[in-house]
Amino acid sequence: MYDMLGMNIINRGGYNFKRPEDYNSDKFFKEWDEFLDIRRNIYFTKNKRLINTRRRFQSNYSNIAWGQGELMATPLHLAKMSGAIANKDSLQPSRFLFKAWNKPSQKEPALALSKYAGASELMSGYMKEQSAKVSGASGLQVFGKTGSPERDKLIKQNGKTIRKRVTDAWYTFYVPSPRLGAPIAFAIRIEEIGNSEFAKQLAIDMLKQLKAAGYF
């Protein structure tokens, strides 16, 4: 899913990486393994010292499995992921231009976000559970996921430029709209506020206004 959306996860994918023709090729995974292994013995998944020990949980592979680790993503990335989950694993291409005056628009085909059937239903179930508070407060059926990612920010201190670790509040979600006949996906990011509950409260306020305006 990260690959399909163009996110950069541990220097794989995104705008800083040349996309291979086949992400699932053995050759590409071997190259990525070798990159992770360079000067990082703890990440060496084939290292016999780590197999069957708790130290393997410190690897980047383990971080990915638990939703941790290094990830470069924008609010648009997360909104597209929520939209793809809402569309039953169908990733719609971005359209920033709705209509052109000099030529008809060509709609690109949707892409399968996951090769595993039923992945979207499984994730939607978790998103529905975590968004019960938002659903109850807004009067809408909301499917969402919060996050409090950390990032480094360059600041000036005593005439020097240093890195400061800050925490943002994220909440990405989708809401089925019977009026539009399709789900609407959102992504909220509040910088340097920490707790993701702030993003959920903003979502509640926003959904109430959209509901009153007749979007749902």
Q: Looking at the structure, do residues 58 and 121 belong to the same domain, yes or no?
A: no
Q: Looking at the structure, do residues 110 and 192 belong to the same domain, yes or no?
A: yes
| Number of structural domains the chain divides into | 2
Mean pLDDT of 8-12: 69
115 CB-side CA count, 13 A: 5
Q: Which residue has the higher pLDDT, 204 or 194?
A: 204
**For the segment 80-133, what is each residue's pLDDT rounded down to a tens digit?**
999 999 988 888 877 777 778 887 777 778 888 777 778 888 889 999 999 999
Q: Looking at the structure, do residues 60 and 85 belong to the same domain, yes or no?
A: no
Confidence of residue 206 (pLDDT cuts 50, 70, 90): very high
> Considering the entire predicted model, what is its pTM?
0.75
Whether 100 maps to a domain, the answer reads no
Give rounded-to-5 percent helix, strand, coil for the chain.
Answer: 35, 20, 40
Whether 99 maps to a domain, the answer reads no
State the CB neighbour count (10 A cutoff) for residue 168.
19
Q: Looking at the structure, do residues 131 and 33 belong to the same domain, yes or no?
A: no
Task: Report the C-alpha gap between 9 and 137 in whole angstroms.
Answer: 34
| Residue 41 near residue 47, CB atoms below 8 Å | yes
Domain that holds residue 2: 1-72
The per-residue pLDDT for 29 is: 61
Q: Looking at the structure, do residues 39 and 113 belong to the same domain, yes or no?
A: no
The per-residue pLDDT for 22 is: 59
Q: Looking at the structure, do residues 51 and 155 belong to the same domain, yes or no?
A: no
Q: Looking at the structure, do residues 133 and 45 belong to the same domain, yes or no?
A: no
Q: Which residue has the higher pLDDT, 124 or 11?
A: 124
Mean pLDDT of 19-43: 56
State the CB neighbour count (10 A cutoff) for residue 130.
17
Q: With b meaning 16 or more CB within 10 Å and e meaning fewer, what string describes 141-150?
A: ebbbbbbeee
Task: Report the C-alpha gap between 80 and 205 in whole angstroms.
Answer: 22
Task: Report the C-alpha gap between 203 and 127 in whole angstroms.
Answer: 14
Q: Looking at the structure, do residues 166 and 147 belong to the same domain, yes or no?
A: yes
Residue 43 pLDDT > 50: no
3-state secondary structure the chain: CHHHHCCEECCECCCCCCCCCCCCCHHHHHHHHHHHHCCCHHHCCCCCCCCCCHHHHHCHHHHHHCCCCCEECCHHHHHHHHHHHHCCCEECCCCCCCCCCCCCCCCCCCEECCCCCCHHHHHHHHHHHHCHHHHHHHCCCCEEEEECCEEEEEEEECCEEEEEEEECEEEEEEEEECCCCEEEEEEEEECCCCCCHHHHHHHHHHHHHHHHCCCC
CATH number at residue 138: 3.40.710.10
Beta-ladder partners of 167: 150
Residue 170 pLDDT > 90: yes
Share of the chain above pLDDT 90, in %: 31
